[in-house]
Structure 1
Amino acid sequence: MVFWITAGALALVAAGIIALAVRRQRGNSEHPAEYDLRVYRDQLKEVDKDLARGVIDEADATRIRTEVSRRILAADAQLKAEQAGETTKSRGGMALIVAMGVVLIGLSFLGYWKLGAPGFQDQPLTLRMEEARARMDSRQSQAEAEAQVPASPGPTPDADFVALMDKLRQTAAERPDDLQGQELLARNEASMGNFKAAYTAQQQIIRIKGDRASSSDYSILANMMIAAADGYVSPEAQAALRRAMEINPANNLARYYWGLMLLQNDRPDLTFKIWDQVLRQSPPDAPWVPAIRSRIMDLAWFAGVEYQMPAAPHSGDGLSGPSNDDMEAASEMSAEDRQEMIRGMVSNLAERLATEGGTPEEWARLISAYGVLGDSERALVIWEEAKGVFAENPEALAIVRAGAERAGVAD
Structure 2
Amino acid sequence: MFWLLCALLTLVVAAAIAAPLRRARDTGAPSAAAYDLRVYRDQLREVERDLERGVIGGDEAGRLRNEIGRKVLDADRRLAEPSPSRHGGKMAGAGIVLLLLLAGAFGLYLYQGAPTAPDLPLSKRIAAAERAYDDRPNQAEAEAAAPERDKPKVDDEYVALVEQLREAVAKTPDDPQGLTLLATNEMRLGNMIAAREAQQRLVDLRGDQASAQELLRLSALMIEAAGGLITPEAEEVLARALQKDRSLPQGRYLLGLLQLQNGRPDRAFPVWRQLLEEGPYDAPWNAPIRAGIRDLAWLAGHPDYVPPEPEATGMPALPGPDADAVAAAEDMTGEERQEMIENMVAGLESRLATEGGSPEEWARLIGSLAVLGQTDRARAIWNEAQQRFGATPEAIAPIRAAAEKAGLIE
Q: TM-score, normalised by structure 1?
A: 0.54
1:150 corresponds in structure 2 to 148
Per-residue CA shift, 1:293-334, capped at 9, x if unaligned? 34434433444242133315355468xxxxx99xxxxxxxxx
2:231 corresponds in structure 1 to 234
Q: Aligned pair in 2 of structure 1 residues 199, 93: CA closer, same or farther (>3 Å)?
A: closer
Per-residue CA shift, 1:114-155, capped at 9, x if unaligned? 333223222223333332332232233322332333154454
Tell me: higher relative CO, structure 1 or 2? Use CA pairs within 8 A at least 6 residues apart.
2
2:163 corresponds in structure 1 to 162
1:47 corresponds in structure 2 to none
Q: Aligned pair in 2 of structure 1 residues 81, 274: CA closer, same or farther (>3 Å)?
A: same
> Counterpart of 1:150 in structure 2: which amino acid?
E
Q: Please tell me whether residue 306 in structure 1 is matched to residue 305 in structure 2.
A: yes
8 Å CA contact retained: 2:143, 2:225 = yes
Cα distance in 2 for partners of 1:152, 1:94 equals 57
8 Å CA contact retained: 2:162, 2:182 = no
Per-residue CA shift, 1:55-92, capped at 9, x if unaligned? xxxxxxxxxxxxxxxxxxx9xx989957xx46555665
Q: Please tell me whether residue 256 in structure 1 is matched to residue 257 in structure 2.
A: no
Q: Aligned pair in 2 of structure 1 residues 274, 29: CA closer, same or farther (>3 Å)?
A: closer
Q: Please tell me whether residue 23 in structure 1 is matched to residue 22 in structure 2.
A: yes
- Is there any run of 5+ residues in structure 1 with no aligned partner, and where? 37-73, 319-323, 326-411
Cα distance in 2 for partners of 1:262, 1:185 equals 31
Structure-to-structure mapping, 1:177-256, within 5 angstroms = 179=176, 182-256=179-253
Cα distance in 1 for partners of 2:184, 2:224 equals 14
8 Å CA contact retained: 1:297, 1:309 = no
Q: Aligned pair in 2 of structure 1 residues 269, 305: CA closer, same or farther (>3 Å)?
A: farther
Per-residue CA shift, 1:168-221, capped at 9, x if unaligned? 22221xxx5x55554454445445544323332333333333333332232121
> Counterpart of 1:19 in structure 2: which amino acid?
A
> Counterpart of 1:119 in structure 2: which amino acid?
T
Cα distance in 1 for partners of 2:165, 2:86 equals 91
8 Å CA contact retained: 2:150, 2:190 = no
2:115 corresponds in structure 1 to 118
Q: Aligned pair in 2 of structure 1 residues 131, 24: CA closer, same or farther (>3 Å)?
A: same
Q: Aligned pair in 2 of structure 1 residues 29, 127: CA closer, same or farther (>3 Å)?
A: same
How far apart are 1:161 and its partner, in Å? 5.1
Cα distance in 1 for partners of 2:100, 2:283 equals 57
Cα distance in 1 for partners of 2:206, 2:226 equals 25
Cα distance in 1 for partners of 2:268, 2:276 equals 12
1:400 corresponds in structure 2 to none
Q: Please tell me whether residue 3 in structure 1 is matched to residue 6 in structure 2.
A: no
Cα distance in 1 for partners of 2:109, 2:149 equals 41
Per-residue CA shift, 1:344-366, capped at 9, x if unaligned? xxxxxxxxxxxxxxxxxxxxxxx
Cα distance in 2 for partners of 1:93, 1:180 equals 80
8 Å CA contact retained: 1:142, 1:236 = yes
> Counterpart of 2:12 in structure 1: which amino acid?
V
Cα distance in 2 for partners of 1:182, 1:121 equals 53
Cα distance in 2 for partners of 1:93, 1:259 equals 56
8 Å CA contact retained: 2:279, 2:315 = no
Per-residue CA shift, 1:267-300, capped at 9, x if unaligned? 4443332122123335456442333334434433
Per-residue CA shift, 1:237-261, capped at 9, x if unaligned? 1111122222322121211112223
Larger radius of gyration between Structure 1 and Structure 2? 1
Q: Percent identity between the aligned chains?
A: 35
Secondary structure in structure 2 of the residue aligned to 1:24 = helix
Q: Aligned pair in 2 of structure 1 residues 171, 128: CA closer, same or farther (>3 Å)?
A: same
8 Å CA contact retained: 1:15, 1:104 = no
Secondary structure in structure 1 of the residue aligned to 2:308 = coil
Cα distance in 1 for partners of 2:138, 2:123 equals 26
Q: TM-score, normalised by structure 2?
A: 0.54
> Counterpart of 1:311 in structure 2: which amino acid?
P
Cα RMSD after superposing both structures: 4.0
Cα distance in 1 for partners of 2:28, 2:165 equals 96
> Counterpart of 2:136 in structure 1: which amino acid?
R
